[in-house]
């Protein structure tokens, strides 16, 4: 008897996604639906699923169970720590790779409010889960049905119902368990609503206003702009744009930028379709600027989240050493990596997992600090908008701008990740700290029972620390000179350590229990760290490094957009905008303009108006933030030149993120009539457990990802085109996660847009 180990979530498949060849579909909707009748080729795998032969073929673990009125009922004890401490299951099932299965069961839970983790997986180590759901049970009972495709061939398959983890005893009853092979995969058709696609939030009164119409028509069509009362306030004709390769749709564009009057609840009508409503105004961006930055507080590790500051989001401190957490206060290395333990408490959880990664923390801190730094230097910048008291933080009122307080939470963690003096790699930074094994969903940070481990130091992490600590040194000087000095010392030490160990790379296979964040090329991280150190100190050593780096004259403005792994653009943008005496600074500024010109050309050619056209329309992991980061380049070109074309390009990019896209969906929670709200997260897991909150307003979803690495996306989106490689489901960690680096791009851009009044 061997219950499925819930520590293996679908995330485990991250490290071997290329091996999977899923063709069938997985319906993980949590509403109970009746099972369909079995067809001729459908083969039942479960023995005695109706319990007519008592408990024969079933095992139990940690529960007292018996048949009762036809089904099996189990008295589940209270006070167990883990889901798998109480379970019922059946082993020795045969699964065939690529074959589609329908798993169904009828269940009750008494009293109300309990859930079951139902898993189809491997009965032996490594206990992989091929399909898992955590539906809420009712007292009267429901039938739950899901389809999925098996990623493997095995005769050691298992169906298990995990029931542990509740404080009080409860009763679970189960009947009609079925695992039917050879079923028809279900088709996934996203509901894309009206064919007129708009920014569902707001266009700026004096900004560009564009929409996209999906239509079969090939000649211009009339359009009308209506106010909330339905009165036509503007009209014109569409511009046919042919077939858009990023969606496969035939589209027209609509330009209603001449209409500048503020209003709410406007709609755009064309080809018999009425768009979702939107505003013309600035208020939504003032809100988004704050919400996007407020995202970080509830990602904090090592501190209780105060419900008075984030109503509905209060929770116990995560990873402070209180059971069942093993705590981040004395974390050892992975075996053989080091023989010390570090206090690496604090910082932000990276995403929907509980891992903390220096490279991703680094780019996120950089972009939050840059949001503030831009506001200080740009002609339209308003640093007070993110000043003290704006973000409802525990530190609000301390006289320090709130955005600096938030970034400080992560900076303190980054500093703790530095290898202490006297150790062989002193001054370098550990790449990451996370659980030994992947955990399942949902799981609040304070409930994570896994061992935490430090992973080896890397050159990339060390340079992330050098770059951000150097940037911090100049920005906190005014508020906390002692911290600024500490940060600069750490940055210099990290720089020296990186020079001494220039090619210590993260392992591409170190992806169990956390992401790899492996990066084969760290030349761009060297350029970035040197740039930040130069901008803070003006020292010749760093100036020379910048001027002689091949990246200083290279063109870093690629199609995909910068991110945690490619940091030459952050360096270039700061060299162009942060005041310095850098020789040839004009050339640097012109290079930003040249990059922006290319993004602008891409945007103008794109019928959805985005500066993003990756080769083969292969959307990258986290495409929404890469699109926003290309807009950051446009916005910076505007800050440098004052030329409205760049500003308009940056503003137009926001339309895509907020609804002007093939899915007619806003990728920001709480913004737009139809917005993503089921992002992959272990604690904003409302889709799995209604007692938990949904992601807070202002959380950016990663968005379309052509590589669809997770099983749910593989099952439902196979063969998708560009913009359609997305599903708003908590299980789709490759298309629908939320992360600290993606929200940083949103924070930067929301702040820029709010500044354009
Ligand atoms: O966004 C990251 C993507 O660029 C990488 O290719 C991938 C593999 O390292 O990881 C993604 O980041 C995830 C990280 O590894 C773990 N936390 C969640 C992140 C978002 O999915």
Model pLDDT for residues 482-526, shown as the tens digit of each residue: 999 999 999 999 999 999 999 999 999 999 999 999 999 999 999
Nearest CA to ligand 1 atom 15: 515
**CB within 8 Å of 604: residues ≥ 6 apart:** none
Cβ 591 under 6 angstroms from ligand 1: no
Tell me the average pLDDT across 80-88: 91
* Sign, Cα dihedral of 362, 620, 11, 676: positive
Among candidate residues 368, 374, 356, 370, the one with its CA nearest the CA of residue 415: 356
Ligand 1 centroid–CA 564 distance in Å is 10
**Higher pLDDT pick, 463 / 1:** 463
Element (H, E) at 119: strand 117-122
Ligand 1 centroid–CA 429 distance in Å is 19
C-alpha distances in Å from residue 536, one per residue of 401, 497, 511? 19, 19, 35
Helix ranges (H only) for 386-480 are 402-416, 459-476
Cβ 516 under 6 angstroms from ligand 1: yes
- Cβ(414)–Cβ(468) below 8 Å: yes
Using the atom order of ligand 1, give the atom closest to the CA of residue 350. 17
The confidence band for 40, taking pLDDT boundaries of 50, 70 and 90, is: low
- Cβ(516)–Cβ(510) below 8 Å: yes
Task: Give pLDDT tens digits for 704-747.
Answer: 999 999 878 887 898 999 999 999 999 899 999 999 999 999 99
- pLDDT for residue 284: 98
The confidence band for 603, taking pLDDT boundaries of 50, 70 and 90, is: very high
Do the domains at 22-181 and 196-284 have one common CATH topology?
A: no
Ligand 1 centroid–CA 508 distance in Å is 12
- Cβ(189)–Cβ(648) below 8 Å: no
The architecture of the domain spanning 196-284 is: Sandwich (2.60)
- pLDDT for residue 193: 98
Tell me the average pLDDT across 183-197: 89
Ligand 1 centroid–CA 480 distance in Å is 33
Ligand 1 centroid–CA 259 distance in Å is 42
pLDDT over threshold 70, residue 39: no
Q: How far is CA 529 from the centre of its chain?
A: 25
Among candidate residues 81, 59, 73, the one with its CA nearest the CA of residue 158: 59
The confidence band for 551, taking pLDDT boundaries of 50, 70 and 90, is: very high
- Cβ(138)–Cβ(219) below 8 Å: no
Tell me the average pLDDT across 454-464: 98
Ligand 1 centroid–CA 21 distance in Å is 21
**Higher pLDDT pick, 186 / 16:** 186
Whether residue 728 lies in the annotated active site? yes
Whole-angstrom distance, CA of residue 114 vs CA of residue 410: 36
Cβ 350 under 6 angstroms from ligand 1: yes
Whole-angstrom distance, CA of residue 574 vs CA of residue 328: 33
Nearest CA to ligand 1 atom 3: 621
User: Average pLDDT over the chain, rounded to whole?
Assistant: 92
Whether residue 128 lies in the annotated active site? no
Nearest CA to ligand 1 atom 11: 515
**CB within 8 Å of 646: residues ≥ 6 apart:** 596, 600, 634, 635, 637, 638
Nearest CA to ligand 1 atom 10: 515
Ligand 1 centroid–CA 431 distance in Å is 14
- pLDDT for residue 151: 82
- pLDDT for residue 688: 84
**CB within 8 Å of 265: residues ≥ 6 apart:** 227, 228, 277, 279
Cβ 123 under 6 angstroms from ligand 1: no
Using the atom order of ligand 1, give the atom closest to the CA of residue 565. 4
22-181 CATH, one of 2.60.120.260, 2.130.10.10, 3.30.1490.20, 3.40.1030.10 = 2.60.120.260
619, two tokens: 């959307």
- What would you report as the CA-atom Rg of the chain, rounded to the nearest whole angstrom? 27
Q: Which segment of 39-48, 197-206, 230-239 scores lowest on mean pLDDT?
A: 39-48
Give the strand pairing for 87-95 and 71-76: unpaired
Beta-bridge partners for 435: 452
Q: pTM (2 decimals)?
A: 0.86
126, two tokens: 């490594």
pLDDT over threshold 50, residue 189: yes
Catalytic residue among 328, 388, 448, 737: 737
Using the atom order of ligand 1, give the atom closest to the CA of residue 516. 9
**CB within 8 Å of 750: residues ≥ 6 apart:** 285, 288, 289, 291, 292, 698
pLDDT over threshold 60, residue 142: yes
Going by the DSSP 8-state scheme, the letter that residue 424 receives in this structure is: T
Nearest CA to ligand 1 atom 12: 515
The confidence band for 131, taking pLDDT boundaries of 50, 70 and 90, is: confident
pLDDT over threshold 60, residue 29: no
Whole-angstrom distance, CA of residue 22 vs CA of residue 187: 14
The confidence band for 327, taking pLDDT boundaries of 50, 70 and 90, is: confident
Three-state secondary-structure class, residue 299: helix
Ligand 1 centroid–CA 344 distance in Å is 21
Tell me the average pLDDT across 521-533: 98
Three-state secondary-structure class, residue 173: strand
Going by the DSSP 8-state scheme, the letter that residue 657 receives in this structure is: H
Cβ 736 under 6 angstroms from ligand 1: no
pLDDT over threshold 70, residue 22: no
What are the structural domain ranges in the chain? 22-181, 196-284
- pLDDT for residue 132: 84
Three-state secondary-structure class, residue 28: coil
The confidence band for 667, taking pLDDT boundaries of 50, 70 and 90, is: very high
- pLDDT for residue 38: 45
- pLDDT for residue 4: 29
Tell me the average pLDDT across 533-557: 98
Give the strand pairing for 202-203 and 278-280: parallel
Catalytic residue among 279, 510, 728, 729: 728
The confidence band for 33, taking pLDDT boundaries of 50, 70 and 90, is: very low
Using the atom order of ligand 1, give the atom closest to the CA of residue 14. 8
Ligand 1 mutation target, pool 13, 514, 562, 621, most atoms within 8 A of CB: 621
Ligand 1 mutation target, pool 10, 461, 517, most atoms within 8 A of CB: 517
Nearest CA to ligand 1 atom 4: 621
């Amino acid at each position: 008897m061997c219950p499925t180990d819930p520590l293996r979530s679908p995330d485990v498949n991250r490290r071997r996604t290329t091996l999977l060849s899923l063709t069938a579909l997985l319906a993980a909707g949590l509403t109970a639906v009746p099972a369909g009748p079995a067809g001729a080729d459908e083969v039942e795998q479960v023995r005695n699923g109706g319990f007519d032969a008592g408990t024969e073929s079933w095992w139990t673990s940690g529960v007292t169970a018996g048949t009762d009125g036809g089904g099996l009922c189990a008295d589940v004890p209270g006070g167990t720590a883990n889901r798998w401490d109480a379970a019922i299951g059946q082993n020795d099932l045969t699964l065939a790779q690529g074959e589609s299965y329908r798993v169904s069961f009828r269940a009750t839970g008494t009293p109300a409010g309990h859930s079951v983790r139902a898993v189809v997986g491997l009965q032996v180590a490594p206990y992989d889960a091929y399909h898992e759901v955590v539906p809420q049970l009712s007292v009267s009972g429901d039938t739950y049905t899901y389809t999925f495709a098996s990623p493997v061939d095995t005769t050691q398959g298992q169906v298990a119902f995990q029931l542990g983890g509740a404080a009080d005893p409860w009763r679970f009853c189960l009947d009609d368990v079925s695992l039917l092979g050879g079923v028809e995969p279900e088709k996934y058709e996203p509901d894309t609503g009206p064919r007129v696609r708009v920014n569902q939030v707001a266009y700026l009164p004096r900004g560009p206003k564009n929409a996209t119409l999906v239509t079969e028509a090939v000649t211009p069509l009339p359009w009308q702009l209506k106010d909330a009362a339905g009165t036509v306030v503007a009209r014109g004709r569409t511009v046919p744009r042919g077939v858009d390769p990023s969606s496969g749709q035939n589209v027209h564009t609509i330009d209603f930028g001449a209409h500048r009057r503020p209003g709410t609840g406007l709609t755009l009508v064309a080809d018999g379709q009425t768009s979702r409503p939107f505003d013309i105004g600035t208020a939504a961006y003032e809100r988004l600027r704050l919400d996007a930055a407020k995202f970080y507080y509830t990602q904090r590790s090592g501190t209780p989240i105060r419900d008075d500051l984030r109503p509905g989001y209060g929770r116990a401190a995560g990873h402070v050493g209180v059971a069942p957490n093993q705590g981040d206060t004395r974390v050892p290395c992975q075996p053989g990596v080091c023989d010390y333990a570090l206090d690496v408490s604090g910082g932000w959880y990276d995403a929907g997992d509980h891992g903390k990664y220096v490279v991703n923390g680094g780019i996120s801190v950089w972009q939050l600090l840059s949001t503030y730094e831009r506001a200080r230097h740009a002609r339209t910048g308003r640093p007070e908008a993110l000043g003290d008291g704006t973000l409802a933080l525990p530190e609000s009122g301390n006289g320090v701008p709130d955005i600096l307080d938030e970034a400080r939470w992560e900076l303190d963690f980054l500093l703790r990740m530095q290898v202490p003096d006297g150790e062989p790699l002193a001054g370098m930074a550990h790449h990451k700290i996370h659980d030994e094994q992947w955990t399942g969903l949902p799981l609040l940070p304070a409930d994570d029972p896994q061992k935490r481990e430090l992973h080896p130091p890397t050159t990339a992490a060390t340079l992330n620390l050098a770059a951000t600590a150097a940037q911090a040194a100049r920005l906190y000087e005014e508020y906390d000179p002692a911290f600024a000095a500490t940060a600069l010392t750490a940055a210099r030490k990290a720089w020296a350590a990186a020079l001494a160990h220039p090619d210590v790379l993260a392992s591409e296979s170190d992806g169990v229990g956390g992401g790899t964040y492996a990066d084969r090329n760290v030349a761009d991280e060297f350029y970035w760290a040197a740039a930040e150190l130069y901008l803070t100190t003006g020292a010749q050593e760093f100036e020379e490094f910048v001027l002689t780096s091949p990246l200083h004259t290279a063109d870093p403005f690629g199609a995909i957009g910068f991110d945690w792994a490619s940091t030459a653009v952050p360096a270039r943008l700061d060299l162009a905008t942060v005041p310095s005496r850098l020789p040839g600074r004009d050339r640097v500024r012109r290079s930003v303009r040249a990059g922006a010109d290319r993004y602008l050309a891409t945007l103008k050619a794109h019928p959805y108006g985005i500066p993003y056209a990756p080769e083969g329309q292969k959307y990258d992991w986290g495409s929404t933030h890469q699109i926003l980061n290309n807009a950051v380049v446009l916005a910076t070109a505007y800050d440098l030149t004052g030329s409205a074309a760049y500003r308009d390009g940056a503003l137009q990019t926001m339309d895509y993120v907020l609804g002007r896209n093939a899915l007619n969906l806003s990728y920001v929670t709480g913004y737009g009539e139809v917005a993503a709200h089921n992002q992959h997260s272990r604690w904003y897991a409302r889709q799995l457990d209604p007692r938990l909150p949904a992601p807070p307003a202002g959380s950016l979803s990663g968005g379309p990802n052509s590589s669809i690495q997770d099983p749910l996306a593989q099952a439902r989106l196979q063969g998708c085109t560009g913009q359609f490689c997305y599903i708003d489901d908590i299980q789709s960690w490759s298309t629908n996660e939320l992360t600290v680096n993606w929200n940083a791009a949103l924070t930067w851009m929301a702040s820029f847009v709010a500044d354009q009044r």
